[in-house]
Structure 1
């Protein structure tokens, strides 16, 4: 039994839900509009309590899609009403970021600067040269942009230098010990 799939999703104030052909759900809110197509194996309906997802059969694959569909719908409802925000910290001497139009210029200790093109649907703020704030309505896109930026210089375990999520804890290793 899927507990995630069986939950009823409350629709926040100011959010409008529409259904299109091929099991496509369109959700409009204060922040924008999201559109997603779902499997026909999951029936999505709008009831007085909120959005409800139901399985059409009891096959294992359908059960797997049930919770996933409900979680994706929940993410869409939160995205159009509140939005998502992820903060990245840059740690290291001389490591910094700067915003230049629709690109982020990163200096991460390489022989060349890195220019990252910001995709549409995501806004990036750099309040300090060592802090990047990525925000948007699409949870998956915000997470993907953060992962791509972080991949340029992942935090290393000895000094902790690199790009890390602000709530990430880097497990440190002990360096070489001197000979006896």
Structure 2
């Protein structure tokens, strides 16, 4: 059996989990998330802990039990604590400004780039060169951060562009004669 799938998920205070035959829903202080349950995995709530087990002994059911456990653990953490991704702007004149559900970027183009945030995602700009993307759904937070970074990924010669806060950019040496 999957090592990840064996570990139960402790349900924190203030988080409600409801399990139906085909769906699992998690509600907390930061919102609610739901996901369809795979037919190869059985989910049970045993005394404040979620337990996942494969329905049969197949390798696919074993793998899906670990996958479902990881996805539901992210849902529980998302509705209780939330997820965030931090981006930095590196470059002369590069600026970011959050305006409600829109992120306004000036990143060296002749026009400003405006990114609309999906529902459930909050964007903050603590300074002009920092972007903080927050939300309950880990997958959506990561996807939005990747889309913002894709507007101007860091280039390898000077390192200018939008990068994750923990990203290391390897600078190439310039061409020699």
- Tell me the TM-score range normalised by the shorter chain: over 0.9
Q: How far is the alpha carbon of 1:65 from its aligned partner?
A: 1.1
Structure-2 separation of matches of 1:66 and 1:18: 18
Structure-2 separation of matches of 1:130 and 1:173: 23
Give the structure 1 partner of residue 7 of structure 2: 7
Matches within 5 A, 1:136-155: 136-155=135-154
Q: Secondary structure at the match of 1:5?
A: helix
Give the structure 1 partner of residue 19 of structure 2: 19
Give the structure 2 partner of residue 94 of structure 1: 93
Matches within 5 A, 1:34-73: 34-48=33-47, 50-73=49-72
Matches within 5 A, 1:24-35: 24-35=23-34
Runs of 5+ in structure 1 lacking a partner? none
Q: How far is the alpha carbon of 1:26 from its aligned partner?
A: 1.0
| Deviating 4+ runs (over 3 angstroms) | none
Runs of 5+ in structure 2 lacking a partner? none
- Between the two proteins, the alignment pairs up a number of residues equal to 177
Matches within 5 A, 1:115-134: 115-134=114-133
> Could you tell me whether the CA contact under 8 Å between 1:25 and 1:37 is conserved in 2?
yes
Q: How far is the alpha carbon of 1:25 from its aligned partner?
A: 0.8
Normalised TM-score (structure 2) = 0.95
Q: How far is the alpha carbon of 1:20 from its aligned partner?
A: 2.5
Q: Secondary structure at the match of 2:126?
A: strand
Normalised TM-score (structure 1) = 0.93
Structure-2 separation of matches of 1:39 and 1:21: 10
Over the aligned positions, Cα root-mean-square deviation in angstroms equals: 1.2
